[in-house]
Chains A and B, each alone.
Chain A
Amino acid sequence: MHDKTVTQLAAALKSGELSSRELTSHFLQRIEKADGTLNSFITVTAEQALNQAEAADNARAAGKAGKLTGIPFALKDIFCTQGIKTSCGSKMLDNFIAPYSATVVEKLNAAGTISLGKTNMDEFAMGSSNESSYFGAVKNPWDLTAVPGGSSGGSAAAVAAGLVPAAMGTDTGGSIRQPAAFCGITGLKPTYGRVSRYGIIAYASSLDQAGPMAKSAEDCAHLLNVIAGHDVRDSTSVSRGVPDYTETLNAPLSGLKIGLPKEYFGDGLDADVEKAVLEAVKVYESLGATVREVSLPHTHYAIPAYYVIAPAEASSNLSRYDGVRFGHRCDAPADLIDLYTRSRAEGFGDEVKRRILIGTHTLSEGFFDAYYTKAQKVRRLIRQDFLDAFEDVDVLMGPASPTPAFDLGAKKDPVSMYLQDIYTIAVNLAGIPGISVPAGFSNGRPVGLQILGTHFAEAQLLNVAHQFQQATDWHLQRPAFAEEIA
């Protein structure tokens, strides 16, 4: 059961071959057996899940089931869930029981899906390895000495290990696509504004976007159908119709124009990763696509621009954690300033503090124009690179990450960690969608192919990814760890 896709499980539920209660119990048992090793969950909501499963089975018996009714999944612990701890991977929110649910959660509930719990993540989504979580690092099911990637590392590891059929993540600089690549699953970051940010704990509000992580592009299409759409409660959510993303999955790719950004195949790219990506591109050529080199000339300015803009927004967003209204409060504060400064010093980890300090510094008097305004100008140039490229080609392809998953503890210096996101971060600055699909292995660790499209091209990305998965079986590979969970 655990290696089936959402699409297959939905069919089994529909035919009556399986009940949601059986399915939910099965995955809860797998979590109980294996998650002591992986640490992919912060909170497991077993009782609520079984109740939801019973309700789903009853709805089906009454003829009221939708396409995904009864399907279990997991939520990154950044999505507010009413009545359930929502920690964002931080000590600051270890005691936070959300008083309301995110729009994404409400939509998934309304679709009859079953949440098994909240997955581990880098603290406040700041990280590329899941090692900054207050709740400890997550292990990669393909190799327990490797990181799962981040910041949606728990979601990626849980799906790869077959602890859940699918999970929700968020992506501010690559946090869906990079862990999807490291764990050998499929992860989609939609266009900025496609999915409501309401109730998603904010990191960098002009970059944050939620999306599905699953075993196939087809599964991602089903999940995006549920979560996409306008929401009046998110002022940056886009008022634009949502197509049925499953309808175009089988469109033929003959004539598809693929661009390979030359900057994505330069220094620092692991040879095995490059080989896997170029092999994948050959598969597309065999499907009728044409390939040409393109240039995104400002690629190398994306990480510097991001590390001004994201920390600036974070320093503002995280000012709400003051020890007064919710979250951690220090013991015996001497006065109000002591309450603020000590609650925040105790509640935040080092990476979060670094970003708050960088953001506060770059926004402060005397530095604002040199850093923040400059970075916003560069952001426009980076977006223009993509818009120019999409004048000539339909999609861009390249690696999701310059290397496969690295070892736990390998990257101690913050800047070396930041440089990991070279191929994903510009996408958030430009606001375009991107998907990572499994495309091979390097020393037993998965390699991800990243496919990028222009704004609102999710249907095309899912189609292009799905056709690859019809022609290859990389997405069907499962780690030995998943098979050994009896």
Chain B
Amino acid sequence: MALEESHVRRAAHLARLAVSDDQASGFVDDLSRILDMVDQLQSLDTEGVAPLAHPLDATQRLRADEVTEINQRDAFQRCAPAVENGLYLVPRVVE
């Protein structure tokens, strides 16, 4: 499955990653080589094999629906780039 620059552009957009024109061609080369290597998978017959998501086939554990966390907003916001009155500041989204 050949990789085109439009694929890299789309992935960069979905991943919210700014990629300059100069960088894009480099990523096309690198990612093409990686996907060429990955494409070896296609030669393997996996008919009837179930996908494995967890190495021990475990399923998600459930717990009682109880409040277990205490409010630590101030502690957690100490490492934020910009906060005001307990709110995270970002550029204006709504005019």
A positions within 8 Å CB-CB of B:
95-99, 191-193, 206, 232, 235-236, 238, 298, 300-301, 303-305, 307-308, 315, 319, 322-327, 329, 333-342, 344-345, 348, 353-354, 356-358, 360-362, 364, 367, 370-371, 373-381, 383, 413-415, 418, 429-432, 455
Contacts and interface: CB of A to CB of B under 8 A. Distances in A.
A324 B81 CA distance: 7
A301 B44 contact: yes
B50 A377 contact: yes
Interface string B11-37: 110111111000000010011011101
Given A324-B88, A326-B79, A378-B46, A305 B41 contact: yes
A303 to B, nearest CB: 7
Contact of B31 (A339, A340, A358, A379): A358
B2 interface: no
A298 B11 CA distance: 30
Given A304-B38, A305-B41, A364 B52 contact: no
Interface residues of B, number: 52
23 contacts: A98-B79, A99-B75, A191-B56, A192-B55, A304-B38, A304-B40, A307-B38, A322-B16, A324-B80, A324-B90, A329-B81, A334-B91, A335-B91, A353-B27, A357-B17, A357-B27, A371-B38, A376-B51, A380-B50, A383-B52, A414-B34, A415-B33, A431-B55
B60 interface: yes
Contact of A361 (B7, B46, B56): B7
Contact of B40 (A300, A322, A348, A373): A300
A321 to B, nearest CB: 10
B88 A380 contact: no
Nearest to A207: B55
B72 interface: yes
Contacts of B67: none
A356 B15 contact: yes
A301 B80 contact: no
B7 to A, nearest CB: 6
Interface of B: 1, 3, 7-8, 10-12, 14-19, 27, 30-31, 33-35, 37-42, 44, 46, 49-56, 58, 60-61, 63, 72, 75-76, 78-82, 88, 90-93
A354 B16 contact: no
B79 A370 contact: no
B84 to A, nearest CB: 13
Contact of B38 (A308, A326, A342): A308
A98 B27 CA distance: 32
Contacts of B34: 307, 354, 358, 414-415, 418
A374 B46 contact: yes
A375 B34 CA distance: 14
Contact of A348 (B7, B17, B35, B81): B17
A378 B53 CA distance: 11
A128 B42 CA distance: 26
Nearest to B8: A357
Contact of A376 (B52, B56, B60): B52
Nearest to A414: B30
A301 to B, nearest CB: 6
Nearest to A419: B37
A360 B56 contact: no
B48 to A, nearest CB: 9
A390 B11 CA distance: 41
A239 B37 CA distance: 37
Which 4 pairs show the lowest CB-CB distances between chains A and B? A431-B55, A376-B51, A345-B18, A329-B81
Contacts of B15: 315, 319, 344, 356-357, 360
A98 B72 CA distance: 13
B52 A377 contact: yes
Contacts of B61: 235
